[in-house]
């Protein structure tokens, strides 16, 4: 995000559906850059602090499609994607050749293909641009974004918005390749988070001070973004919400479905998903991803809200 150009999106009318943990700060950045936001009524309260200027509230996805130049989706599940895009009063009912729909959540390949095909049947364009970077990356406009677009024109239409929301934006190829890249990202991220939890538990049981160990690992072969973000939060027993455990299990399910479709048996991914499922059963689906360390070692306290923390992977929408 370029803070020097606050009005880069002046005149753009952007529909945004999915104003949750990630979507809300993403939409706020677009608004700060001059865009007019068109949002669902059920999300109006979450955006109230932005004031009434350049905010339009409508009842249905179809109404949003009619009003907006581009509609961004940041939804939590494939079912939500299908309902918003293809359901009654969905985007497909009102989309025109001037409409472009951009999915920025994590969606499986089959759902992405079917929604893209249906929208293209009515002449609309579809771009998949899933994000990584968590709530803090969304707030700061520093997301990593993987873009799949069928034409340079489609990418050019969404590029100014992506520049506001992201710091590392890469065009991966045609529609679907953005989600394929996100699947790889989630495999690496959520598997690594399980490993870091086990490492932090072993280190503390071995008598090591985590606040000393984590900087000592910096720059070595064991260093990673996951370690440097989640490690200090585990050490501080900071369980403030940055991404929910349910997201990890859901996205690793998408990883395993993709692997099966390509004839691969990803045993580490399967084991990681089972550990997240164990954590959900023991701790709770809506708890933060850092709390997986409590599954490994219950001596890490139940903790509470400590005001912030960063996030890895990506958050849910609603």
Q: What is the CATH number of the domain that holds 77?
A: 3.40.50.720
User: Do 197 and 162 share a structural domain?
Assistant: no
Q: What is the pLDDT of residue 314?
A: 42
Tokens of 272: 């990681």
Q: What is the pLDDT of residue 134?
A: 87
**pLDDT tens digits for the chain (318 residues)?**
545 556 899 999 999 999 998 999 999 999 999 999 999 999 999 899 998 899 999 999 999 999 998 999 999 999 999 999 999 999 999 999 999 999 999 999 999 999 999 999 999 999 999 999 988 899 999 999 999 999 999 999 999 999 999 999 999 999 999 999 999 999 999 999 999 999 999 999 999 999 999 999 999 999 999 999 999 999 999 999 888 999 999 999 999 999 999 999 999 999 999 999 999 999 999 999 999 999 999 999 865 544 444 445 444 433
DSSP string over 47-76: GGGG-STTEEEESSHHHHHHH-SEEEE--S
User: Do 219 and 96 share a structural domain?
Assistant: no
The answer to whether residue 317 sits within a structural domain is: no
Neighbours of 58 (CB within 10 A): 18
> Residue 279: in which H helix or E strand, if any?
helix 267-282
Q: State the Cα angle at 124 between 122 and 126, rounded to 5°.
A: 130
State the catalytic residue, choosing from 153, 174, 182, 267. Answer: 182
How many structural domains compose the chain? 2
| Catalytic residue status for 182 | yes
The predicted model scores a pTM of 0.91
Q: What is the pLDDT of residue 304?
A: 53
315 with 186: CB under 8 angstroms? no
User: Do 257 and 132 share a structural domain?
Assistant: no
C-alpha–C-alpha distance, residues 317 and 32, integer Å:
20
User: Do 234 and 107 share a structural domain?
Assistant: no
Q: What is the pLDDT of residue 307?
A: 40
The answer to whether residue 3 sits within a structural domain is: no
Structural domain boundaries enclosing 253 = 181-296
Q: What is the CATH number of the domain that holds 197?
A: 1.10.1040.10
Q: What is the pLDDT of residue 135?
A: 87
C-alpha–C-alpha distance, residues 214 and 290, integer Å:
15
Which residue, of 173, 194, 211, is where some domain finishes? 173
C-alpha–C-alpha distance, residues 16 and 201, integer Å:
40
Which residue, of 156, 173, 190, is where some domain finishes? 173
Q: What is the pLDDT of residue 303?
A: 58
């Amino acid at each position: 995000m370029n803070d020097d150009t606050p009005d880069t999106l002046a005149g753009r009318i952007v529909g945004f559906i999915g104003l949750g943990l990630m979507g809300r700060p993403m939409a706020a950045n677009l608004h700060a850059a001059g865009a007019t936001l068109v949002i669902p009524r059920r999300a109006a309260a979450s955006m109230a602090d932005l004031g009434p200027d350049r905010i339009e509230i409508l009842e249905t996805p179809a109404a949003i499609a009619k009003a907006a130049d581009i509609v961004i989706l940041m939804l939590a599940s494939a079912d939500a994607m299908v309902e918003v895009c293809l359901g009654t009063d969905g985007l497909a009912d009102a989309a025109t050749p001037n409409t472009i729909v951009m999915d920025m959540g994590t969606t499986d390949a089959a759902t992405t293909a079917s929604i893209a095909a249906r929208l293209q049947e009515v002449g609309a364009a579809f771009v998949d641009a899933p994000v990584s970077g968590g709530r803090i990356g969304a707030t700061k406009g520093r997301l990593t974004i993987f873009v799949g677009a069928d034409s340079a024109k489609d990418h050019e239409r969404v590029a100014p918005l992506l520049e506001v929301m992201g710091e590392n934006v890469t065009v991966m190829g045609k529609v679907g390749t953005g989600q394929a890249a996100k699947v790889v990202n989630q495999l690496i991220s959520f598997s690594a988070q399980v490993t870091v939890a086990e490492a932090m538990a072993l280190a503390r049981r071995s008598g090591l001070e985590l606040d000393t160990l984590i900087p000592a690992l910096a720059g070595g072969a064991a260093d990673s973004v996951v370690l440097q973000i989640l490690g200090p939060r585990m050490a501080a027993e900071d369980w403030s919400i940055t991404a929910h455990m349910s997201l990890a299990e859901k996205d690793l399910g998408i990883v395993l479905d993709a692997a099966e479709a390509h004839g691969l048996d990803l045993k580490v991914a399967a084991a990681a998903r089972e550990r997240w499922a164990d954590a959900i059963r023991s701790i709770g689906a809506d708890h933060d991803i850092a709390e997986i360390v409590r599954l490994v070692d219950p001596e890490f306290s139940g903790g509470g809200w400590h005001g912030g923390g960063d996030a890895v992977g990506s958050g849910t929408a609603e």
